[in-house]
Chains A and B, each alone.
Chain A
Amino acid sequence: MPAVLMRGITKHFDPVLANDRVDFTLEQGEIHALLGENGAGKTTLMRILYGLYRPDEGEIQVNDQVVHITSPKEAIHHGIGMVAQHFTLVPTLTVAENIVLGYSSRFRFDPAQAEKQVAEAATRFGIETDPQALVRHLAVGERQRVEILKALFRNARVLIMDEPTSVLVPQEVDVLFETLERLRSAGLSVIFISHKLNEVMAVCDRITVLRLGRVVGSVEKSAITQNELARMMVGHDTERVERPGERSQEEVRLRLEQISALNNQGLPALKQVSLEVRAGEILGIAGVSGNGQSELSRVLSGTLKPTSGRLMVSDQDLTGADPTRILSAGVGRIPEERHDGVLEELSVAENLAMENLGEFTRNGMLDRRRVRQEAQRLIDEYQIKASPTDRMRTLSGGNVQKVILARALARKPRVIVAAQPTRGLDVGATEYVRGKLVEQRNLGAAVLLLSEDLEEILLLSDRIAVIYEGQIVGVLPAQEASLEQLGLMMSGAAEVSRA
């Protein structure tokens, strides 16, 4: 008898088909991986199981009973618990209070009794935690154990873990795996959402692979190799475009030497990254999101100071430089989140001028006529559907991106850092942005392209570097790269060091 059976699950988020007739079976006492790239539909499927989304079609059975789960409360009632990527604990309460919170129905709260119950549960499941500790004093891995215990305390028999290792340091990952194995031997079932092949191979019994909302296959771990899994995950090789030959004789425009940096949580996000981009080439950085791309683009934009290493643009040392210095060194930047790059309440003209205010200033006065004229020129050149005086927030995503692109390219940059330049854009805008990047490359700019879209990387890059857990695991010429190889490298299963 399977613990959970999901059959024919379909879910639209117009116009995206997030889940397309997905079948999923979870047996009792197994750790079952849900594997796939970003946007493959893993999280959507699990949110349906946990009652956060309603499926458009399909059926869910728990212990052979057809159930209609309309809220997390009902999911918990059916013995399904979820540990989300972002924890839902109250930092100022103790571990015991957090676990009992919302579960105790009595009017009076007895801290001593709660602590006793929580301590008992912790011993029973073999989860190490101090019921009296305040959550805000706990490390991330400990908080995650509290989340797990919280679900178990509510009698969960099925535990959904959404990318549980993405927030953990390696030692904590080991502890997590021990915990999961202990739960399995106690007869519980775990759904492990991940895109990291090595972790999936290390801890899971069965693997279901999703791609573009569909199930590609469901296999026993013992019956498959990492390479086959990688191929299932990323799909088949696409047609390759002809590319200009080697460009090693051109000068190096952008050089990163052993750059390390921390993320917003203060954890290492970039580990000794070294890269070179030459004039007239596009270097693509491939990787699953959250492997240090954001931090890399922020370091190169001047909004994140590296903790060590050196950043050179041509012969200029720009380590730790602010955006002003980066800009005057001739770096054009497209930020990862396009809304971080523009001021929604200012006009299009003001946004277009913002990186270049010195040029529009006479004795401290803003030359508003020239700001408008220059804006009109860029609007015409880049076919932006807006007038200079429009508020930025009235523009569509594609036009916002064109404003950012126009601003970045207006100063004829020698180096371009483009982070996720086409994310969320429609086909027309995507082609326009890609065309502009190629045009800049042909004009001799050094382009660093960070993208989660492998097709885009393969389409545009002259060379491809793969980033995994903050490290460059390999650089290879685009002609030699195959999807399978990139997929393996992106999921930490293979290292290639060449070119």
Chain B
Amino acid sequence: MPKFKIERAVAPLWTRPLIPLIAIVVTFIITSTLVVMAKANPLEAYYYFLIDPLTGRVSALEVLVKSTPLLLTGAAVTFAFSAGYWNIGVEGQLYAGAIAAAWLGTILGGLPPVLAIPIMLLGGFIAGMLWALVPALMRVKLAIDEVVTTLLLNTVILFFVSYLLNGPWRDPVSGWPQSPEIAASTMLPKLLPRSRLHLGFLIGLFAIFLLWFILSRTTFGLKMRASGLGRDAASFAGVKVGRTILISALISGGIAGVAGVSEVAGIHFHLIDAISPGYGYTGIIIAMLGALHPLGVGVAALFIGLLTTGSQTVSRALGVPAYLGDVVQATLLLVTLGAFVLQNYRLRRVSTSPPPDIEPRMVPGSDSQSGS
């Protein structure tokens, strides 16, 4: 029996971009079993998943439409995560922006679009920021774990939206639980005729650019990365870590708010309960898949947009449940996270076996294990 030993050995830097690609391949292998259980051919399924949506104009543009909120939430999550602030509340901050958009959209009807749309975007940014403010302050001032607070606040705002839609904002004409339609001058203009693609897509690309610019070209970006990579060392070197985290958390919330504006003013034109099917959470997957690198995050958002579109195509063509798309996304997150951990280890064959010293702090791994 050959024995194996897991030892710590960090993979070289150039292999990092490969990790998401490897993760994607592994994910498809794992999820193939589900496709087979749904009595479909995996290769055919992945053709409809990944290739078919790109072959027609309508579905290709739909990929970009689906990517629009994901570019924004992906950027929002990356902003916070880069500074070491685990903002799980992008979903809620998106809803805050959506509420602001639904409100501003009904009162700004008198303004021309050149004024109305920037005010909408700014309003959404501020709303998202405000919703992010309290947990960020609690983290910085009182060291209360933001993972819990931001996550719980998502539920709070969902119920608040539900209250608005079933109470004061209920559409007086139809009686549906949706807010009144926003004024035409506050709707985001279409980028191409006969499509749903709207200005929000460009705003999403701009958010990714902004993310890159701040992280890699400004001093604040360096402080953000330092705070995220090593709080104590950053603080030792004179970085005001608390302030840096606070500002990053607020910008993250603001961008998430803009995602809410983009969905209300670009797609639905009302506030509805289901304005986001979890774009905020998908943003986390995108940020991790993109390894918190702006370019990677942009590509990951487009890729997940493709997956979302593709899951409908594959369901129509082969009768596989559309939920397969969700399963693939979730599996992808787990595999990616696993891959990022495993890149720090390698498996080595041990020849002879003098029993190793037992270090009290040692992680499991001194005995024979296989895998990876």
Which residues of A does B touch, CB under 8 Å?
Answer: 51-54, 70-72, 84, 301, 303, 322-324, 327, 333, 335, 339-346, 350, 354-355, 357, 360-361, 364-366, 368, 391, 393, 407
Contacts and interface: CB of A to CB of B under 8 A. Distances in A.
Nearest to A303: B236
Interface stretch (B23-31, B330-338, B353-361): B353-361
Interface in B210-238: 217-223, 225-226, 229-230, 232-238
Contacts of B220: 364
A299 B226 CA distance: 22
A346 B355 contact: no
B217 A323 contact: no
Contact of A365 (B13, B219, B357): B219
A84 B358 CA distance: 15
A346 B217 contact: no
Contacts of B229: 343-346
A324 B235 CA distance: 9
A329 to B, nearest CB: 12
Contact of B222 (A323, A357, A393): A357
18 contacts: A53-B357, A323-B238, A324-B240, A340-B232, A340-B236, A343-B229, A343-B233, A344-B229, A350-B226, A354-B226, A354-B234, A354-B239, A357-B223, A361-B219, A364-B218, A364-B219, A365-B217, A368-B217
Contacts of B232: 303, 340
Given A344-B230, A357-B223, A365 B218 contact: yes
Contact of B225 (A71, A346, A364): A346
A335 B232 CA distance: 11
A466 B355 CA distance: 43
A229 to B, nearest CB: 30
A259 to B, nearest CB: 19
A416 B10 CA distance: 35
Nearest to B359: A52
A303 B13 CA distance: 32
Contacts of B221: 366
Contacts of A342: 230, 233
A84 B222 contact: no
Contacts of A54: 354-355, 357
Contacts of B239: 354, 357
Contact of A366 (B10, B217, B234, B354): B217
Contacts of A323: 235-238
Given A303-B236, A357-B219, 19 more contacts: A52-B359, A53-B358, A54-B355, A71-B358, A301-B236, A323-B235, A341-B237, A342-B230, A343-B233, A343-B234, A344-B229, A345-B229, A346-B225, A354-B222, A360-B219, A361-B219, A365-B217, A366-B222, A368-B217
A9 B10 CA distance: 36
Contacts of A333: 236
A343 to B, nearest CB: 5
Contact of B230 (A303, A343, A360, A366): A343
Contacts of B13: 391
A339 B225 CA distance: 17
Interface in B176-218: 217-218
Contacts of B238: 322-324, 327, 354-355, 357
Interface in B328-372: 354-355, 357-360
Nearest to A328: B238
A341 B232 CA distance: 8
Nearest to B234: A343
Contacts of B358: 51-53, 71-72
Nearest to A298: B236
Contacts of A355: 237-238
A175 B360 CA distance: 28
Contacts of B359: 52
A71 B238 CA distance: 46
